[in-house]
Amino acid sequence: MSKNWTTDNIPNQKGKTFLVTGANSGLGLGTSKVLASKGAKVIMTARSMNKGHQAIAEMKKEVPNADVTLMQLDLADLSNVKQFTARFKAEYSKLDVLINNAGVMMPNERLETKQGFEGQFGTNHLGHFVLTHGLLEVLENIPGSRIVVLSSLVAKMKKADIYWNDLQFEKSYDKMASYAQSKLANMMFAAELNQKLRTKGSSAMCLMAHPGYTATNLQQHMGLQGRIMNALLAQKIDMGILPTLRAATDPDAKGGEYYGPEKMGNWRGYPVLNEPNPVANERKATQKLWSISERLTETTY
């Protein structure tokens, strides 16, 4: 086996159930394919059933025996998220791994979710906040279950901050700052959830991952700049999914860890432990974001 962590390191996953959000495209689809090829049952969610069916048809060409189920989930509508978790629990009593992968990046205009939250914070953070809350019960029915949260390199960049005085970017919209806020919020959520699980003695763990820079549909709002960066700098999806897969399946991975690429300032390479933004370990800040998220979504953990 190579010294780098690759899909060869993934143990057989037969008997385990994974749920992947945003599974119809990019990293979510790539992650689902590998998990299915390792024998896992994969519940793929997509906001568009049509796109989801197309993704499954593509997957079945590579993994003909894939054990996959498609479920509709729109993270930009908290009623839809709550209906989803109710439907899920009516059908399944257990979940081994939840992968909070779906995301939207830097739309040029400020978008709002169904409940009126800024689109990136609302979808990437608040949608997954409510989803995880709804699924925690079935996750905790499996000893050592995992929640894997996708963050990003941008969560450590200059603009990465929680803009406490204008969380919804109502005063002035900055697409980069708002994306960075949402990915930092993902990281702070993951760190705080892991702490809360430890405090209550749960065996469930929450880990984080990021794909470095990987060419996917995510860069669709970046225009020419995105196309040039994708051509020059991006790694392929089969590399970008490795940190998520490692966080989700490596038997030695632990709660609170953050996996990302090793090389070029964590932009590319095989997955290793990365350092999260130190803010993720500031309990005062993570607890403040948690309380605000509970209040905004009317969800109490």
User: Interface residues with ligand NAP (CB under 6 A)?
Assistant: 22, 24-28, 46-48, 51, 73-76, 101-105, 123, 150, 152, 210-211, 213-214, 216-218
Minimum CB separation of residue 152 from ligand NAP in Å reads: 3
Find the shortest distance in angstroms from Cβ 19 to ligand NAP: 12
Cβ pair 237, 23 in contact under 8 A: no
Q: In this structure, what are the phi and psi dihedrals at residue 98, rounded to the nearest 5 degrees?
A: -105, 125
CB of 4 to ligand NAP, least distance (A): 20
Residue 222 CB, nearest distance to ligand NAP (Å)?
11
CB atoms within 10 A of CB 256: 19
Q: Which two tokens stand for residue 66?
A: 């894939």
Residue 162 or 202: the one with the smaller Cβ distance to ligand NAP is 162
Kindly give, in sequence order, each residue whose CB lies less than 8 Å from that of residue 116, ignoring residues fewer than 6 positions away: 168
Distances in Å between the alpha carbon of 240 and those of 19, 30, 124? 18, 9, 18
288 CB-contact burial (10 Å; exposed 0-12 / middle 13-18 / buried 19+)? middle
Beta bridge partners of 260: 272
Task: Name, in order, each residue with C-beta under 8 angstroms of 187's C-beta and a sequence gap of 6 or more.
Answer: 149, 151, 155, 208, 258, 276, 277, 279, 280
CB closer to ligand NAP, 202 vs 246 = 246
Whether 78 and 104 have beta carbons less than 8 Å apart is answered as no
User: What's the closest the beta carbon of residue 260 comes to ligand NAP, in angstroms?
Assistant: 9
The set of catalytic residues is 179
